[in-house]
Amino acid sequence: MIYFDNAATSGKKPQTVINSVNYALKNLSANPGRSGHFASQIAATEVYKVRQKVSDFFGSNGAESVVFTYNCTISINMVLKGILKNGDHIIISDMEHNAVTRPLNKMKIDYTMANVSLVDDKQTVENFKNAIRPNTKMVFCTAASNVLGKILPLDEIGKFCKQKGLLFGVDAAQGAGLIPINMKKMNIDFLCIAAHKGLYCPMGLGILIARTPINNTIIEGGTGTNSIEQNQPDYLPEKLESGTLNLPAIYSLKAGINFVENKMNCILKHENALVKQLYDLLKKENVIFYTNPYNFGYVPVICFNVDDLQSEKVAEFLNKSGFALRAGLHCAPTAHKKIGTLQYGAVRFSPSIFNTDKEVYMLVKAIKKLKNL
Amino acid sequence: MQRHIISVNSITYAIKGRDLLRKQGFRAYIERKTNANGNAGCGYVIIANGNKNKIINALLEAGINIVDVNTVV
């Protein structure tokens, strides 16, 4: 199976990440922050080192601002439900994942979807600015669309959020590890991350980095300290970290960040080259693409459809031919509405650093075969 | 030399404080809190040797919330 579904999760992990998970399972099997014995203290110290590494990598305030969660969706829920209340207004983009829109709908929070221009970042920023109302409390947007690959101008959005006194939250599920994100420089208050995508860790680990306090919690429970107190602690990270942590995944995060830290540009360049290769070869075959990878500011994600075939049928054919790609709406119906594919979805191609141009040629050959059936 | 038992909010702050004090040349380590002020367990202390004011100031400057300090000679 040739895996091109890395926007869902990185299919192949670096050996250093695998080694770290193994090491943690063998040597760090004590509960961090729950006991006083040396094994627990060693485990807690390793978790702390990873918090520091994450904070440094994403330009945050320090280890205590880094909260480990179960996945990026939980992190986003923690931000939205922890900050917003009835009467607040929030601005999101028109490419958000259901992880953002569903909590807002459940909470009955009033939101405006700002249109993201696929070619003009200045226009995008203007659209966000124009959506501000007197009761706007926050801007929350994706770092890069999981459907269209478009990177949002976080720098500029952060700048105006600071000027207007708005909180700024970012869903970096698709951006973390691929594009540089510095919370201080970009004025980001809350950064939500899926460790298993661009940071190459196992599934079951999300990250929430909070440079600003979060008022309310959505999960309460044991934190390993001050057990006699029946209210949730009011300090990070423990306030948002009830229950036992996923230590093997957390320990491997250090290796994941080390893997991307010094070659982020190379990773992006390689993966975007594969996207362009697919685009060039299939354009000739009249395959429909919804974005142009030669435009500025895209992560390596591109959607296409083949003739009038349903996207799920195309993905099914490709699966049987040995290729893993995801079809449908990718949990982001607003992005599909934007490109007119809400009814039948599209097939998403998302390569990783481990894919090769030969594999792309093989995929193209399979799609040509489908077209000729 | 005076020995200070510094109670902090969490294991995260205990490790942060310990590492900070070590970087500044103090001898410091972490222990589980033992029945301090009648609160049984479930807490962490930094045990550090040296000048009390310097130690406390260093921790406070780093944003570490100190719950209490007991000094033993």
Checking if the pLDDT of B39 tops 70, the result is no
**Model's pTM, two decimal places?**
0.95
Distance from CA of B45 to the nearest CA of A (A): 10
The answer to whether the Cβ–Cβ distance between B11 and A33 falls below 8 Å is yes
Domain boundary (A236, A261, A286) is at A261
Q: How many domains does chain A have?
A: 2
* Token pair belonging to A240: 């948002």
Q: Which residues of chain A have pLDDT under 70?
A: none
Q: Are residues A63 and A207 in the same domain?
A: yes
Domain at B3-72: CATH code:
3.30.70
Kindly report, residue by residue over A142-178, the tens digit of the pLDDT.
999 999 999 999 999 999 999 999 999 999 999 999 9
Question: Alpha-carbon dihedral of residues A340, A168, A249, A202, nearest 10 degrees?
Answer: 10
Domain that holds residue A296: 2-10+263-371
Closest CA to A218 of A110, A78, A62: A78
The mean pLDDT value for B51-65 works out to: 95
Q: In the predicted model, is pLDDT for residue B38 greater than 60? A: no
Same domain, A219 and A301: no
Q: Which residues does chain B have within 8 Å of residue A33's beta carbon, measured at their own beta carbons?
A: 10-12
Contact B15 A64 (CB under 8 A): no
The domain that holds A195 is classified in CATH as: 3.40.640.10
A150: Cα within 13 Å, side-chain hemisphere: 22
Structural domain boundaries in chain B = 3-72
The Cα A307–Cα A299 span in angstroms is 25
List, in order, residues 6 or more apart from A26 with CB less than 8 Å away: none
A271 interface with B at CB cutoff 8 Å: no
Q: What is the dihedral of CA A98, A288, A117, A187, to 10 degrees?
A: 50
CB–CB contact A226 B43 (8 Å) = yes
Task: Please determine, for residue B37, whether its predicted confidence score (pLDDT) is greater than 60.
Answer: no
Q: Which residues in chain B have their CB less than 8 angstroms from residue A235's CB?
A: 9-10, 13, 65
Statement: residue B36 has pLDDT above 60: no
Q: What is the pLDDT of residues A66-75, one digit of tens each?
A: 999 999 999 9
Neighbours of A289 (CB within 10 A): 18
- The predicted pLDDT at position A224 comes to 85
- Nearest chain A alpha carbon to B33: A36
> What integer pLDDT is reported at residue B9 of this predicted model?
87
B37 Cα to chain A: minimum distance (Å): 12
Give the residue from A212, A236, A261 where a domain finishes: A261
Residues 6+ apart with CB under 8 A from A102: none
Report the distance separating Cα A120 and Cα A247, nearest Å: 42
Of B9, B12, B65, the CB nearest to A48: B12
Using a CB-CB distance cutoff of 8 angstroms, which residues of chain B are in contact with residue A231? none
- Beta carbons within 8 Å of A21's beta carbon, 6+ residues apart: A202, A248, A249, A251, A252
Distance, CA of A17 to CA of A254 (rounded, Å): 8
Chain B residues touching residue A211 (CB < 8 angstroms): none
Distance (Å, rounded) from C-alpha A50 to C-alpha A55? 8
Q: What is the CATH number of the domain that holds A358?
A: 3.90.1150.10
B16–A contact, CB cutoff 8 A = yes
Contact A51 B12 (CB under 8 A): yes
